[in-house]
Amino acid sequence: MIRLPAREHRRLVAIHGWTGVGLGLLLYVVVATGTVAVLAREIGAWSSGTLATRAPLSRALDAAVGRAIVDAPPGLRDTVDLSAAADDRLAVSLRGPAGPDARGIDLDVAPDGAVLRRRDGPAADIEDADPPGALAAFLVDLHVRLYVPAPWGYAVTGVAGLALLAAALSGFAIHRHLLKDIFTLRRGARPGLTARDRHNMAGAWALPFAVVLAVTGSVFSWSASAGFPALAWMSYGGDREALFAALAGPPPPADPTPAPRADLDAVMADAAARAGAAPTYVRLARPGRADARITVYAAPPAGALTGHTLVYDGASGTLLEDRRAFGRVASVGGTLYGLMAPLHFGDFAGPASKVAWAALGLCSCVATLGGIRLWLARRDDRASALLDRCTAIVGLGLPFATAGAAAGFFAGLPGGGGPGWTEAGFLAAAAAATVAGIALPRRRVGPALSAATGIGLALLPALRWAAGEPGWGAALAAGRLAVPSGDVAVLAIAAAFLWTAAPAAMRDRRPFRPGRAVP
């Protein structure tokens, strides 16, 4: 698209290639897990077999939350967070004052108000330990920090975001016929040429999406560890509290005087009416005190990209503020920052935007893996052969391990389940893929892992049913399409993997081998 002098062009080609080769596999893992994580909520509804139709934050909450607060020790009532959990349950998290030794209580509340599960202990130990939602939580966590301990996990995914940005921008600059080649895929040409067309085509269609994802993902990964500290250092001499006071307003003066709690249901109804959409998350700060605050985060109303954040007085229930995403006055930067989350998560228009996001994520995965293989095709040395094998193992081992995580999740359900089963399933499948990738001849690694992934995915609906999850009849009778549509989607993906694993002769496709020079 950009006419560059030959020297700059060569430099950008080198940047594009080495960025892809050096960080391409990491980038692929982050993008592929993100593609799945976009649909985490739907995956959660499918895997937990939710049959209820009412969102937990849209029913009467005040009595259940009041009981939870009264039952908790006074030291653990500093904040109370409310969110929707799998299986139509309400997740209530009570926390003491923040800090490395913070403790808390997590409750799962059934639609009838009964407490189904209670976990208490150090906050770090009890978070994300929700058995029915373990699969969805695992997939999100895998994308966010690749299960690398904080803050290093965020740094790793942040590096992947920057690599994606560098690859996308350099690819945009070096591709001279971006729009002309946007429909060009010469399947009958030499394998190398076909592979190049496929990489260029996927990269071109996914380019705007890749730039958006790279920028927003980098902001999320780096804002806490570098962005806000740098902002505090530049503007407030390193005083982070002053920075946050400027952004979100000063905290209310401490007033520990006991005060009755505002009617949470009335607050929620008011918030839903003002925001024009259902609340998605609620935080009660210092409930039962005169300085209590209730913050309601609402979904975007129809047609909008961003939702409202409404702050209420926790004692009187009066609205105090419709809070901006960033800063206290309207600004271009604040608006852009507010768009980061919806543009990254792709959840602003329900399933339509999520499916589009997932499709473009898949497109980015094809571009990334195709680019690495294209680079390897120009080389025929030992290191390239090793990288080629790693690419095959990671490229197809990740879907296989994800299928393993789902299988582990369902296998653990009869015994109570939990995150441990999901993680064990993922690790076992990843280990099996690695061993197979090392032991098998290179040309058989791809078909073997594709076939294994297809078979594993095809078995998931049966495993789900065997684990006691509802069948199609019960789900359809309850008007819930998540279960049957999830099964159909999984079977369709399984068929696609089995198709790619089929012998090349069956698909009338010539094999593409690394080491063959691309003309």
Q: Is 39 in the site for other proteins (CB under 8 A)?
A: no
Q: Is 507 in the site for other proteins (CB under 8 A)?
A: no
Dihedral sign (CA 52, 53, 59, 65): positive
Q: Shortest Cβ distance from residue 73 to other proteins (Å)?
A: 29
- d(CA 329, CA 323) in angstroms, rounded, equals 10
- Residue closer to other proteins (CB basis): 89 or 464: 89
The stretch near other proteins (CB under 8 A) out of 20-28, 246-254, 260-268, 449-457 is: 260-268
- d(CA 175, CA 169) in angstroms, rounded, equals 10
The stretch near other proteins (CB under 8 A) out of 49-57, 126-134, 447-455, 460-468 is: 49-57
Q: How far is CA 71 from the centre of its chain?
A: 34
| Burial degree of 407 (CB within 10 A; 0-12, 13-18, 19+) | buried
The stretch near other proteins (CB under 8 A) out of 47-55, 88-96, 238-246, 394-402 is: 47-55
Q: Which of residues 343-362 bind other proteins (CB under 8 A)?
A: 343, 346, 348-349, 352-353, 356-357, 359-360
The stretch near other proteins (CB under 8 A) out of 23-31, 298-306, 379-387, 415-423 is: 298-306
Q: Shortest Cβ distance from residue 346 to other proteins (Å)?
A: 7
* Per-position x/- string for 361-400, each x denoting binding to other proteins as judged by CB under 8 A, each - no binding: --x-------------------------------------
Q: Which of 237, 234, 167 is nearest to 202 (CA)?
A: 167
Quote the Cα angle for 423-426-429, to 5°: 145
The stretch near other proteins (CB under 8 A) out of 286-294, 296-304, 375-383, 488-496 is: 296-304
| Burial degree of 503 (CB within 10 A; 0-12, 13-18, 19+) | exposed
| Partners of 295 in the β-ladder | 283, 311
Q: Is 499 in the site for other proteins (CB under 8 A)?
A: no
- Residue closer to other proteins (CB basis): 342 or 371: 342
The stretch near other proteins (CB under 8 A) out of 34-42, 55-63, 150-158, 326-334 is: 55-63
Q: Is 53 in the site for other proteins (CB under 8 A)?
A: yes
In 238-355, where do the E strands start and end? 279-285, 293-298, 309-313, 319-323
- d(CA 515, CA 519) in angstroms, rounded, equals 12
DSSP secondary structure letters along 88-128: GEEEEEEE-S-STT-EEEEEEE-TTS-EEEEEEEEHHHHTT
- Residue closer to other proteins (CB basis): 284 or 360: 360
Q: Shortest Cβ distance from residue 198 to other proteins (Å)?
A: 8
In the chain, % helix, strand, coil (3-state, to 5) comes to 60, 10, 30
Q: Is 155 in the site for other proteins (CB under 8 A)?
A: no
How many residues line the site for other proteins (CB under 8 A)?
Answer: 45
Q: Is 266 in the site for other proteins (CB under 8 A)?
A: yes
- Residue closer to other proteins (CB basis): 194 or 402: 194
Preceding omega of 300 cis (within 30 degrees of 0): no
Q: Shortest Cβ distance from residue 164 to other proteins (Å)?
A: 16
List the helix and strand counts (H, then E) for the chain. Answer: 18, 8
Among the listed residues 2, 14, 234, 305, the single contact to other proteins using CB under 8 A: 305
Rounded to 5 degrees, φ, ψ at 446 are -60, -55
CA distances for 319 relative to 44, 256, 266, 315, 342, angstroms: 33, 20, 11, 11, 25
Among the listed residues 479, 503, 505, 519, the single contact to other proteins using CB under 8 A: 479
CA distances for 488 relative to 41, 470, 472, angstroms: 17, 15, 11
- Residue closer to other proteins (CB basis): 422 or 450: 450
The stretch near other proteins (CB under 8 A) out of 142-150, 167-175, 262-270, 403-411 is: 262-270
The stretch near other proteins (CB under 8 A) out of 56-64, 124-132, 327-335, 422-430 is: 56-64
- d(CA 159, CA 154) in angstroms, rounded, equals 9
Q: Shortest Cβ distance from residue 301 to other proteins (Å)?
A: 9
* Per-position x/- string for 404-443, each x denoting binding to other proteins as judged by CB under 8 A, each - no binding: ----------------------------------------
* Per-position x/- string for 164-203, each x denoting binding to other proteins as judged by CB under 8 A, each - no binding: ----------------xxxxxxxx-------------xx-
- d(CA 152, CA 98) in angstroms, rounded, equals 21
Return the amino acid letter for 117: R
Q: Shortest Cβ distance from residue 185 to other proteins (Å)?
A: 4
What the block records as the tokens of 490 is 């999984």
Q: Shortest Cβ distance from residue 15 to other proteins (Å)?
A: 24
CB 285 within 8 A of CB 314: yes
Residue whose pair of structure tokens reads 């190049």 in the numeric block:
196
Residues that bind other proteins (CB under 8 A): 53-55, 58-60, 180-187, 201-202, 205-206, 208-209, 263, 265-266, 269, 272-273, 278, 300, 302-305, 342-343, 346, 348-349, 352-353, 356-357, 359-360, 363, 479
